[in-house]
Amino acid sequence: MTRLTCRRVVVAGAAAAAGLAVLSPGKHVHAQTQTKPTGVTPAELAKHEKFMRLAIAQANLNPGRPFGSVLVDDRSGEVVGAGVANLAASPLFHSEVQAMNAYLAKNGNKGWENLTMYGTGEACPMCASAMVWAGIPRMVYGSDTPFVRQYIADINIRAKDVAEAGKAIYTSKLLLGGVLASETDKLFEAKGKIGEKK
């Protein structure tokens, strides 16, 4: 029996793209990409890497659950929200929700269409759904769900599937994974595999 693992995802509009690799059970699941993501220009990739480094800085605030996010206004390039997972305070306080709450506190419930969410890990279904409902059209992440699930219990529903399920109310302009995955993967690897003693 095989399992399909998405290696690269770039979604423009409602279109889903790219490269599925078949993995056998028991083999090590690698990050979404160990190389540069495809489908973006070098200048775009440099911009995404710049903001991913800020998400990594957020994740370093909680090494036990290293999810960090920043919300960026694409018009100004300004970080308008930042968050780190804080499940001790609330099961809802995932990094993306924290970044969205920080944005709401400053800007109110408007302007979502101008934003990009950057996260060290692929958004879980709750966070991806929150972004769909808000209308945040661009999501960029480092490590993908199949990789992260080796280290942290997570719901096995991909962000691309949530975006696709919401297409009646949502238009995705970008869903890009694997940005600095070689760095974000290390955050999760440092935590150790589920059930593994450190």
What pLDDT was estimated at residue 197?
Answer: 59
**Mean of all residue pLDDT scores within the chain:** 83
Measured N-to-C along each axis, helices 181-191 and 42-59 cross at an angle, to the nearest 10 degrees, of 20
19: left (phi over 0), alpha (psi -120 to 50) or beta: left
Distance, in Å, from the CA atom of 71 to the CA atom of 77, rounded to the nearest integer, reads 10
In percent, how much of the chain has pLDDT > 90? 74
Distance, in Å, from the CA atom of 76 to the CA atom of 65, rounded to the nearest integer, reads 30
User: pLDDT tens digits, residue range 82-131?
Assistant: 999 999 999 999 999 999 999 999 999 999 999 999 999 999 999 999 99
